[in-house]
Each structure stands twice: as C-alpha cells, then as structure tokens.
Amino acid sequence: MIEYIERPLYIDRLKPFIGKSLIKVLIGQRRVGKSYLLMQLRDLIKKQSPDTQIIYINKEQHEFSKITNSEDLFLYLKENVKGNGNVALFIDEIQDIESFEITLRDLATRGNYDIYCTGSNANLLSSELATFLSGRYIEIKVFGLSYTEFLVFYNFQDSVATFQNYLKFGGLPYLINLNTEIQVAYEYLTSIYNTILLKDVVTRFKIRNVKFLEDLIAFLADNIGSIVSSKKISDYLKSQKINISPQVVIDYLGYLESSFLIFKVKRTGIEGKKIFEIGEKYFFEDIGIRNAIVGYKTSDIHKILENVVYLHLRMAGYSVTVGQEGNKEIDFIAQKAGEKIYVQVAYMLANEGTINREYGNLLEISDNFPKYVVTMDELTEISTYKGINRMHVKDFCLKMV
C-alpha cells in the first residue's frame, strides 16, 4: 500500500457512508488532495472488506483515456467486473467522462456497487448529479491543508513563524515535496493556477478573452476581503481601458467559482435574514495561489488573514456570510447545525479606534452566540472583553474546528 499522511477531517466524514449505495463525491480545486483521499478510501476498503472487488479509474492517466463517455464507462466495467459480488468503484476526475451520470444512476440501483468519485467542476457535478441522481449521492468539499494539517504534513511545531509560512505558501499538499524557497513554491503554484485557468475555465467554457479573465483574477486577488460588485469590477476595468459589461463579469465570476479558484461570500443582515443581492466578498481557495498571482506583500496581511480565517471556517463545516447592517460590518457570520459564531479579523489592535471598531459592532449584537476578535497581536491565551473572546489567529485556526 502507498504511504499516506492521514486526513481524518475527511475520512471520518466518509466512514459512515462506506458500503452504502449512496454515491460519494469529493469535490474541490485541483491538487488539494482528492486523489490521495480516494486512494486512502480504496486501501481502507481493501482492509475492511477483502472480498470486495476494487475498480479504480483515474482520468488523468493515459490508460483510461479511452473512457470518454458514459457508454465507454459502462463497457469498461462490463469487461473488468468479475462475478456478481460487491464492487467498490473509484473514479478520479469524473467530469472528464461525458454523461457519466447515466452510468452512475444505473450502477446505484444494482445494490452491489459502492461508488466514490472526485471532480474539479462544481457546476457540472452539481447540475448533473442533482438532475439524475437526486437523493442518491452525498457531496464532500475538500480543501487544501488546514493549519492543523499543515503542522502534521510538514512535521512543524506550532509557532508564529510557522503560521506566517502557512500564510505565505498556503495549503496545497504537494508543496511538502519542494523546498521552502518562495520562488520555487510560487513557480509550482503558478503552474497549478495556469492548469486551472486553461483546463477548468478557458477550455471548458470556451473563453476567448483570456487577457480579460487574467485581469479579472488579478483584480480579485488584490481585493480579497473587499465588498465588490460586477459593476464595480466593470467600472475598474474600464478605467484600465478594458471595456467589459457587468453581465460578462458575472459570467466569468461564475466560471471561476465553478473551477473552485475563488469563493463568493454573500452579505446578510447581522441579526435578520435579509440577503443583499448586490455586493459580495471574494476569497481564494488557496492563499498560496493568490500570493503567486499578485505577490506576497506584508501590506496585504489583513486581506490574507481574512482569507485564511474564511477558509478555516469552511473547513470546519460552517456556512459563512458577511454581516451587514447599515454601515456596520461583521467580517463573518458562521453557522452550523443550528449554532452560530461571529468573527472579526484584525491584523493588530493598535489603537483605541481599531479596538472600538472591532469590538463595537460585536457588542451591539443582542444574541448570546459566541463572538470572536482574532488578531496577530502577541497573545498567550484567550482573553475576554464583555463576553467577546480575543484570540491569536493561529490559535483560532487550531481550536475552532
């Protein structure tokens, strides 16, 4: 068996569904580790159920290049599955098989197939699976390494310096095979970015204006954590002599979301259910890729921290919005299983004005759900002020899971 570094955050979520007829779909950006999770699951099933036949199809390997559509997939299985016993089927990058959902629907009704697949295109997977396999699949979102996983993968001790490396390089697992020279790491991250851009956006959505797409991504990378709208982006690009309509901007943003390069985070009322239709924040799936696109600058530290905290909340299973009430903003309202937390992110609480701003908006929230101010200030333990918890960002990323 291949040696793996365990990622229990995901394996534990999947274990209750092993052997069940539900189709298990791991979705996420390229190179976040979906393939290795698939192989871990394969080896786990081999150990637990040695009589189960294993069929493993990796669409990134040449030997499976002839499986291009649902019919090819069906014929491959017909030729390779022996007998009528239990079969564990693994398909890596399933979106590269046209109309895959037709065969999966058939297999899901047979009762002896335990199906796992990965994909790097949200729209394709969600639309096809929801249409053809409603009620027959579960979707697990896979992210790059959390800070906790980063420490385990690199065998690092937790420290401010280690956390700063996490902010700089991000969480793509393969980076452990490279040295920590920033130029080498960013060359690798740039190559992943280019692959996502070409395969998952330009080719799949037949993009012609690639230069505009790159300018749009650079704009988002430079404005993470800022409330933007398609009109604001369009107006900015016009100021750069790029004449693109807001509707085209909306379309391109959707393509980037679909490829898991970016996340769109909507604004909601802080205490009500109002959802704002215009203006949202955008964050990157991997902060290292963002840094490779526009460079890592210490002047951007607040933006980077906000991106990392957002990713951490999502990894922990929260749905996340930006809180807005008039001119008051809460960076993140995170909800999970009926629980809620409020989070403000600040680089340093350097003066009275910053302290009043970060604590003041939280103090005006009348409910009793936990509230946090997370910063890079030197803190040795959690402190509280009028019921609000104050933590170092790295400690928040270690404990709030």
Q: Write down the pLDDT at residue 327.
A: 82
- Looking up tokens 């009589």 gives 51
- Looking up tokens 């980037």 gives 256
What is the distance between the alpha carbons of residues 260 and 204, in angstroms, rounded to a whole number?
14
Q: Is residue 254 part of a domain?
A: no
Digit-coded pLDDT (tens) for 125-156:
666 677 777 778 899 999 999 999 999 999 99
How many angstroms separate the Cα of 35 from the Cα of each of 23, 58, 173, 208? 16, 9, 11, 31
Complete edge-to-edge strand list for the sheet that includes strand 383-385: 275-284, 262-269, 319-325, 328-336, 339-345, 371-375, 388-392, 383-385
| Angle ∠(362,363,365) on CA atoms, nearest 5 | 70
Residue type, 71: E
Instruction: Kindly give the pairing relationship between strand 262-269 and strand 383-385.
Output: unpaired
Joined tokens for residue 107: 């297999």
Phi/psi-derived region of residue 273, left when phi > 0, alpha when psi is between -120 and 50, beta in every other case: alpha
In the chain, the percentage of residues whose pLDDT exceeds 70 is 96
Of 117, 141, 165, which residue is a domain's last? 141
Q: Write down the pLDDT at residue 282.
A: 97
- For residue 158, give the DSSP letter: P
Q: Is residue 193 part of a domain?
A: no
pTM of the model: 0.94
Of 107, 141, 175, which residue is a domain's last? 141
Q: Write down the pLDDT at residue 250.
A: 93
Q: Is residue 251 part of a domain?
A: no
Q: Is residue 277 part of a domain?
A: no
Q: Is residue 335 part of a domain?
A: yes
Q: Is residue 200 part of a domain?
A: no
Give 22 or 278, the one with higher predicted confidence. Answer: 22
Question: Mean per-residue pLDDT for 39-50?
Answer: 95
Q: Where are the alpha helices (DSSP H) in 223-328?
A: 230-239, 246-258, 287-294, 301-315
Residues recorded for the chain: 401
What is the distance between the alpha carbons of residues 307 and 303, in angstroms, rounded to a whole number?
6
Question: Mean per-residue pLDDT for 39-61?
Answer: 96
Asked which of 74-83, 120-129, 154-163, 199-208 is least confident by mean pLDDT, the reply is 120-129
Q: Write down the pLDDT at residue 194.
A: 97
Q: What is the CATH number of the domain that holds 119?
A: 3.40.50.300
Digit-coded pLDDT (tens) for 216-270:
999 999 999 999 988 888 888 888 888 888 999 999 999 999 999 999 999 999 8
E strand spans, 227-370: 262-269, 275-284, 319-325, 328-336, 339-345
For 76, phi and psi rounded to 5 degrees?
-60, -45
- For residue 206, give the DSSP letter: T
Structural contact between residues 192 and 31, judged by C-beta atoms closer than 8 angstroms: yes
Q: What is the CATH number of the domain that holds 386?
A: 3.40.1350
What is the distance between the alpha carbons of residues 387 and 17, in angstroms, rounded to a whole number?
40
Question: Mean per-residue pLDDT for 183-190?
Answer: 96
Range of the domain at 335: 297-400
Our measurement of the distance from residue 357's CA atom to the centroid of its chain's CA atoms, rounded to an integer in Å, reads 29
Question: Mean per-residue pLDDT for 330-334?
Answer: 96
Q: Write down the pLDDT at residue 242.
A: 81
Overall domain count for the chain:
2
Digit-coded pLDDT (tens) for 339-365:
999 999 999 987 888 888 889 999 999
Q: Is residue 59 part of a domain?
A: yes
Q: Is residue 148 part of a domain?
A: no
Of 123, 141, 159, which residue is a domain's last? 141
Give the pLDDT band (50/70/90) at residue 124. Answer: low
